Chains A and B, each alone.
Chain A
Amino acid sequence: MLQNTKKFFIEIGSYQHNKYGNIVCGDSILFHKSVKEDRTIAVMSDGLGSGVKANVLSTMTASMALNFRIRREPIVRTVKTIMDTLPVDSVRNISYSTFTIVDIDSDGDAKIVEYDNPQLILIREGKVFKLETKDTIIQSKVSDNVADDRIIKISDVELQKEDRLIFFSDGVTQSGIGNMNMPFGWGNQVEDFIINILNENPFISARDLSRRIVKQAELNDILKPKDDTSCVVFYVREPRKLLICTGPPFTELKDEYLGEIVKNYNGKKIICGGTTSKIISRELNREIIVDLNNIVSPLPPSSKMEGIDLITEGIITLGSLVELLEQEIPKNLNAKGPDWDMFRMILDADIIDIIAGTKINIAHQDPTLPVELEIRRNVVKKLAAVLEDKYMKDVKLQFI
């Protein structure tokens, strides 16, 4: 019912910063998570140059690489097609864009294909784990007498729990170039930086780690990055679970069942809804305390209950949360309010179990009420869809 037998979960996080003065990023990062195949693929590409031109090149490269990989096309064919398709740069007279592809299947076998990006780093047990790479030369001819051979690095590795795969564009390794303490850029010192962070905080999320790396690269260039900077982190770990309960069950006979689920759930717990929290309070015999002193948003205040991480009002808060999730992911996550609290908890979770009660609140069926009062079932379905498609969470939705 609420079980997940998966060996481990793969969290993906990424962060990007544009070259100083540019409004678009010349690096592209694309993810694909196939629930059916239980496969996770990420591609990062760095287009030649910067700005819009680089963005077009890297987007083309990344989307081609991703789609070829999804269809399990041979790697040589993939690279050749990309090279043949990319427009030839009028200044440099080559068609060029780097990429890194990471493809992880359900058993944790990762296939890594790298072309000209800084070497991917695998951190295992707090140390850099040396990957065995195989070089593959792909020949192609630009014209009759000019050969344009490309060397692709391919490696296969079996991932273990608590492994981290980290890869970034050369904006990271070349940051700070020309500075006193790093005349040739950040280079290999990135590895020490990452290991230091992991020593401080061994369970740092992929999202936070990628952000820290890019932010440091930005600092190396004294907040004026000389190149587009991107970083992607894979974190293989025990899944973090989150339960969201919203809405009273259709029949009162199920109240006890709902209480049991909440009581026995192994993970973080959120309850959305006044009536729902009352039912759980009654079933578990735990008091609800509403905090009236801490109202910081237009949404109804959140409350507390022993053993529950967050209790919010129901439908308005959920509606606001869905709106938040559908927007572009904000760079600053420190805003206050129950919807933001939920948003942050969701970002940190891997498996999200949603239990939605289907009882209709007759009081909400008054047409004079604001349109935000949607039917719970619809809001919950929207929530599940955005969490799966955009945030690649493992969502299990159950109506009771």
Chain B
Amino acid sequence: MLNIRICVGTYCYITGGSDLVKVKDHLPEEIKEKVTFIGSACLGCEEDKQTAKPPYAKVGDVMIEDCTPEKLIDEIYLQLGIER
């Protein structure tokens, strides 16, 4: 299982995190059964406030900053080794 962590903290949520959560409902079945979506109160942008680029999401061990649904889906396919 590939873990996908989405930040639902205030800053990330209002800068687009709410859309990232919706990605899980729009993935094809064969992908859905290979991934787990996990919410997180904060993924750690706290330490780096001055240059924070929300929203953040984490696919496996890869942190994606300034994340969009498109970027997130690309990373999921990349890590699963499946062509889009």
Contact = CB atoms under 8 A, between A and B. Distances in A.
Nearest to A292: B39
A313 B21 contact: no
A370 B14 contact: yes
A49 interface: no
Interface string B12-47: 011101100100100000000000011111100110
A371 to B, nearest CB: 11
B49 A301 contact: no
A289 B39 CA distance: 7
Interface in A48-101: none
A313 B18 CA distance: 12
B39 A275 contact: no
A335 B38 CA distance: 25
B63 interface: no
B10 A303 contact: no
A291 B7 CA distance: 12
B9 interface: yes
Given A275-B46, A300-B18, A292 B6 contact: yes
A301 B39 contact: yes
B42 A278 contact: yes
Contacts of A311: 41
B10 A373 contact: yes
Interface residues of A, number: 29
Contact of A301 (B10, B21, B42): B21
Given A278-B41, A373-B14, A300 B8 contact: yes
B10 A315 contact: yes
Interface stretch (A9-17, A214-222, A361-369, A379-387): A361-369
Interface in A269-325: 273-275, 277-278, 281, 288-292, 295, 298, 300-301, 303, 311, 313-316
Contacts, number: 70
Contacts of B11: 361, 363-364
B18 A369 contact: no
Interface residues of B, number: 25
A316 B13 contact: yes
A313 B10 contact: yes
B52 interface: yes
A301 B22 CA distance: 12
B10 A298 contact: no
B33 to A, nearest CB: 15
B49 to A, nearest CB: 5
B49 A288 contact: no
B50 to A, nearest CB: 8
A364 B39 contact: no
Contacts of A315: 10
Interface in A350-398: 361-364, 369-370, 372-373
The interface centre, meaning the residue of B6, B8, B10, B54 with most chain A CB atoms within 10 A of its CB, is: B10
Nearest to A291: B39
B2 to A, nearest CB: 15
A364 to B, nearest CB: 7
B1 to A, nearest CB: 15
Nearest to B44: A278
Interface of B: 6-11, 13-15, 17-18, 21, 24, 37-42, 45-46, 49-50, 52, 54
24 contacts: A274-B7, A274-B9, A274-B42, A275-B9, A275-B41, A277-B41, A278-B41, A289-B39, A290-B8, A290-B38, A290-B41, A292-B8, A292-B38, A303-B41, A313-B8, A313-B10, A316-B14, A361-B11, A363-B49, A363-B54, A364-B11, A370-B14, A373-B10, A373-B14
